[in-house]
């Protein structure tokens, strides 16, 4: 029987994010993994031979025997999901977009470009309109759309209903980020065991600027206008395998009780839920009411890793409201977010098919 699903390429297929793409796409109803790209170290081998598979379930059979291509390969798939390192992503992603591919990237290189959407389908689907300007500006047959930084995606998902219901004025966030967020092999084990590292290069700046871009506005006349609240971030690396935890204090324009804030989290839905996209969680924000949740070891896989899990919603003597959030960094924080973007584009007819 012929497979009518849309062929997709995964760039950086052997890495942490790449492996997550392969896993999430293994049984996808609309997309099938057809092409894999990694560095010269892996090119020419099969995916099975090139990859140290580090996810729990077995390597999907459909990908195992595919050849790994070099970055200069002439790809045929209309969609290229990218988990490339920032140092190499710019040139490769731009070439693919120029040649007519929809590039859905996890890399920071183009996130803050004035014509590149930084997209979360529940939060800012209107920012997709920037694609038209991007193609015109750059003369590209395809386009680049990016995911935000993994901590920014989960922070922004939880802030969106508060921004809409009460308005955001000021925000203070401290992250405790998993080791898998640093790629593989990432932070040396002797730096990580029995320790917290209070610095992740450029992470605080990304969290501050990307959150404001996503919660800001897009218009044809003015382009992207960042949201006007102030945000201060502290980012820490902690000895957790997967799942970023964030402690958030926020001053709302209209003060709200913990009950009102919880109601806003629970009522939140977006276009992926309306459209019932295959990767959309039923609730983009899952509220835990126990006094000691969420915890990464227990809750990161809730809703298949596609939701932000919040708990401990309470009054804050400093800014008015505080809560804790947890998000899976390689699923909704990376590969799963790109797949959801691609599902939205398919339904909206944006893919260059």
Q: Which residues bind ligand NAP (CB under 6 A)?
A: 12-18, 37-39, 41-42, 71, 83-86, 88, 106-107, 150, 180-181, 183-184, 329-330, 333-334
CB of 31 to ligand NAP, least distance (A): 19
Q: Among residues 325, 351, 342, 352, which one has the least CA distance to residue 121?
A: 342
Residue 344, H or E segment: helix 336-348
Count CB-CB contacts under 10 A for residue 42.
Answer: 22
Whose Cβ is closer to ligand NAP: residue 250's or residue 337's? 337
* Contact indicator for 117, 208 with CB cutoff of 8 Å: no
Whose Cβ is closer to ligand NAP: residue 41's or residue 58's? 41
First-to-last CA distance in the chain? 22
Whose Cβ is closer to ligand NAP: residue 50's or residue 286's? 50
Please tell me the distance from the alpha carbon of residue 236 to that of residue 151, in angstroms, as a whole number.
11
Whose Cβ is closer to ligand NAP: residue 210's or residue 302's? 210
Please indicate whether residue 244 is annotated as part of the active site. Answer: yes
The structure tokens listed for 350 are 């944006």
Whose Cβ is closer to ligand NAP: residue 152's or residue 159's? 152
Please tell me the distance from the alpha carbon of residue 228 to that of residue 76, in angstroms, as a whole number.
42
Beta bridge partners of 36: 10, 68
Whose Cβ is closer to ligand NAP: residue 15's or residue 142's? 15
Q: Give me the sheet containing 31-37, strands edge to edge.
A: 68-69, 31-37, 6-11, 79-82, 102-105, 143-146
Give me the phi and psi of 22, to 5 degrees please. -60, -45
Please tell me the distance from the alpha carbon of residue 282 to that of residue 303, in angstroms, as a whole number.
8
Please indicate whether residue 150 is annotated as part of the active site. Answer: yes
Please tell me the distance from the alpha carbon of residue 116 to that of residue 29, in angstroms, as a whole number.
27
CB of 92 to ligand NAP, least distance (A): 7
Q: Among residues 268, 294, 301, which one has the least CA distance to residue 282?
A: 268
- Active-site hit among 101, 127, 150, 163: 150
The structure tokens listed for 337 are 């977010």
Residues with active-site annotation: 150, 244
């Amino acid at each position: 029987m012929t497979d009518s699903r849309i062929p997709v390429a995964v760039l950086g297929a052997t890495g942490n994010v790449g492996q997550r793409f392969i896993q999430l796409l293994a049984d996808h109803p609309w997309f099938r993994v057809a092409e894999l790209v990694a560095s010269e170290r892996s090119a020419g081998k099969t995916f099975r031979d090139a990859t140290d598979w580090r996810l729990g379930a077995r390597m999907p059979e459909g990908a195992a025997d595919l050849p790994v291509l070099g970055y200069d390969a002439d790809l045929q798939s209309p969609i290229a999901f990218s988990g490339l390192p920032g140092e190499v992503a710019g040139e490769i992603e731009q070439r693919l977009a120029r040649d007519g591919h929809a590039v859905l990237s996890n890399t920071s290189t183009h996130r803050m470009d004035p014509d590149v959407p930084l997209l979360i389908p529940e939060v800012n689907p209107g920012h997709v309109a920037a694609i038209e300007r991007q193609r015109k500006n750059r003369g590209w047959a395809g386009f680049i759309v990016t995911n935000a930084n993994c901590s920014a995606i989960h922070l922004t998902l939880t802030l969106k209903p508060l921004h809409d219901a009460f308005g955001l004025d000021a925000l203070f966030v401290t992250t405790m980020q998993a080791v898998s967020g640093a790629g593989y092999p990432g932070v040396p084990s002797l730096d990580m065991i029995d320790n917290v590292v209070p610095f992740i290069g450029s992470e605080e700046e990304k969290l501050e600027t990307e959150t404001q871009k996503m919660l800001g506005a897009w218009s044809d006349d003015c382009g992207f206008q960042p949201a006007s609240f102030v945000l201060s971030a502290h980012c820490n690396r902690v000895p957790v395998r997967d799942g970023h935890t964030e402690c958030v204090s926020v001053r709302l324009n209209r003060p709200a009780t913990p009950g009102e804030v919880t109601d806003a989290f629970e009522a939140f839905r977006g276009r992926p839920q309306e459209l019932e996209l295959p990767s959309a969680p039923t609730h983009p924000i899952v509220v835990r009411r126990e006094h000691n949740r969420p915890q990464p070891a227990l809750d990161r896989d809730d809703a298949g890793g596609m939701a932000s899990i919040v708990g401990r919603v309470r009054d804050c003597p400093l800014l008015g409201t505080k809560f804790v959030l947890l998000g899976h960094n390689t699923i909704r924080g990376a590969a799963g977010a790109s797949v959801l973007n691609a599902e939205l584009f398919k339904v909206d007819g944006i893919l260059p098919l």
